A and B are shown apart, each in its own frame.
Chain A
Amino acid sequence: MSEAQLDARRMLCPMPVIRTQQKVELMHVGETLAVCCTDPGAIHDIPAWCRVNGHEVLDIVQRDDEITIRIRVCDA
């Protein structure tokens, strides 16, 4: 299964979280999403959003100014 991608670069929090939420709403349980962002606040906010809404953060990779957060959609 290919991984869904979300480009949230240059967006300021909470926009990356909102876009993630909108994307996840359209996805199915078990699918994964890679969110690419530049606002360092997203390192806290996207995992916090996943915790409260019951989704799983697979990993967070930071390269220069870009942060990629991979999420698995769970049955919340």
Chain B
Amino acid sequence: MTEPRKAVALISGGLDSLLAAKVIQDQGIHVEGINFYTGFCVEGHTHAIRQKDRARPKRNNALWVAEQLGVKLHIVDIIDEYKDVVINPKHGYGANLNPCLDCKIFMVQKAREWIDKRGFDFIVTGEVVGQRPKSQRKATMPVVAHESGADDLLLRPLCAQNLPETRPEREGWVDRNRLFAFEGRSRKPQMALARQFGFEDYAQPAGGCCFLTDRQYSHKLADLWQARGDRRYELDDIMLLKVGRHLRPRPHFKMIIGREDGENRFLEGYRQQFTHLFTTSHNGPLVLIDGEAGDEDLDLAAQITARFSQGRDAGCVDVEIHRPDGATLTRKVKPMPGDRIPKDWYL
């Protein structure tokens, strides 16, 4: 017996990639999944951090999909290489800082390298023509195939009948007649197909697969770049953008304020790297200072820290300030009244 053909399916964790992989698997192809971790992925982070959510940690949807399919899943860390995609997207951004088209091209390109290394035959994605306004238009489908270098080894089973034949179809590895012609934004055909396969309880991300589609998150990232005068980031930066309340009282520093115990504990892990403040006379948050804060800035930061502590209505609150070099300062401050904190300080 000849070996079955092998395909790698890009698994985001959503319904479309689950269905696409299943359709190909049902045609006798050996399928394995690949999932790329960019650092921006909507994972259980905030659940892992926030106290009230810790009792019910969120599952990893890509792993859940792989289990439903009974396929191996390779999770690939592309954090560093992905920076260039976010910072300089050749095709620009979507509604927020989401570089969806460049992101797709990049991931398919990584999958192409992966199949070459592992002796797989083709790549499967759950893309659907017209599903997303920018990155999944009919015109962008060949762009992804071409610029990724995957060309006709890229098969989109959910909309293949709307697209030119690919090599797996031409060679008879898969039967084009048993692929689909889904188009547009309606989710109904996917939901019907999921029912047919008996899939329930699948993830339905509202905006997109990552934080970059989130307006507030993108705003915080843009602020970070502007404040540093440089469009770059480290993994810690983009993790911290997911945690706490972010306030920028002055252009040269911002405050990251824990909102509850879980966040405070998470921020504690950064104490060596950042100047940090906390109240000692009252319970209160842990606050990190990102940027350079001088003496006056620290007075202001202490007043704001006191405002978010349980001493917010007290006449005087004690605040300790720790520098990363180990120096400790103390301040006695009057908490800044909430209505004196300008709205535009909140990021």
Interface band, chain A: 20 to 34
- A33 at the binding interface (Cβ < 8 Å): no
Q: Which residue of chain B lies nearest to A44 when distances are taken between CB atoms in the complex?
A: B59
Instruction: Give CA–CA (A39, B239) in the complex, Å.
Output: 14
**Could you tell me if A18 and B54 are in contact, using CB atoms closer than 8 angstroms?**
no
Q: 5 additional contacts, CB 8 Å, given A18-B76, A49-B63?
A: A14-B62, A14-B75, A17-B75, A18-B75, A52-B73
Residue of B47, B62, B75 touching A41 (CB-CB under 8 A): B47
- A62 at the binding interface (Cβ < 8 Å): no
- B142 at the binding interface (Cβ < 8 Å): no
Instruction: Give CA–CA (A15, B37) in the complex, Å.
Output: 9
Residues of B in contact with A (beta carbons under 8 Å apart): 37, 41, 43-45, 47-49, 54, 57-60, 62-64, 66-67, 70-77, 239, 269
Residue of A18, A21, A48 touching B59 (CB-CB under 8 A): A48
Contact status of A17 and B60, CB under 8 A, knowing A12-B45, A39-B48:
yes
Q: Which 9 A-B pairs have the closest CB atoms?
A: A48-B63, A41-B57, A52-B66, A41-B44, A39-B48, A40-B57, A45-B60, A12-B45, A18-B77
Can you name 19 A-B pairs with beta carbons within 8 Å? A12-B45, A14-B37, A14-B43, A14-B75, A17-B63, A18-B37, A18-B75, A39-B44, A40-B57, A41-B44, A41-B60, A44-B59, A45-B59, A48-B60, A48-B64, A48-B67, A49-B75, A51-B67, A52-B70
Main secondary structure of the interface of B (DSSP, over half): mixed
Q: Which residue of chain A lies nearest to B74 when distances are taken between CB atoms in the complex?
A: A21
Instruction: Give CA–CA (A15, B49) in the complex, Å.
Output: 14
Instruction: Give CA–CA (A33, B43) in the complex, Å.
Output: 24
Instruction: Give CA–CA (A14, B62) in the complex, Å.
Output: 10
Q: CB-CB < 8 A to A49: which residues of B?
A: 63, 73, 75
**Could you tell me if B72 and A53 are in contact, using CB atoms closer than 8 angstroms?**
yes
Q: Which residue of chain A lies nearest to B56 when distances are taken between CB atoms in the complex?
A: A40
Contact status of A12 and B48, CB under 8 A, knowing A18-B37, A51-B67, A52-B73:
yes
- A1 at the binding interface (Cβ < 8 Å): no
The distance from the CB of B36 to the nearest CB of chain A, in whole angstroms, is 10
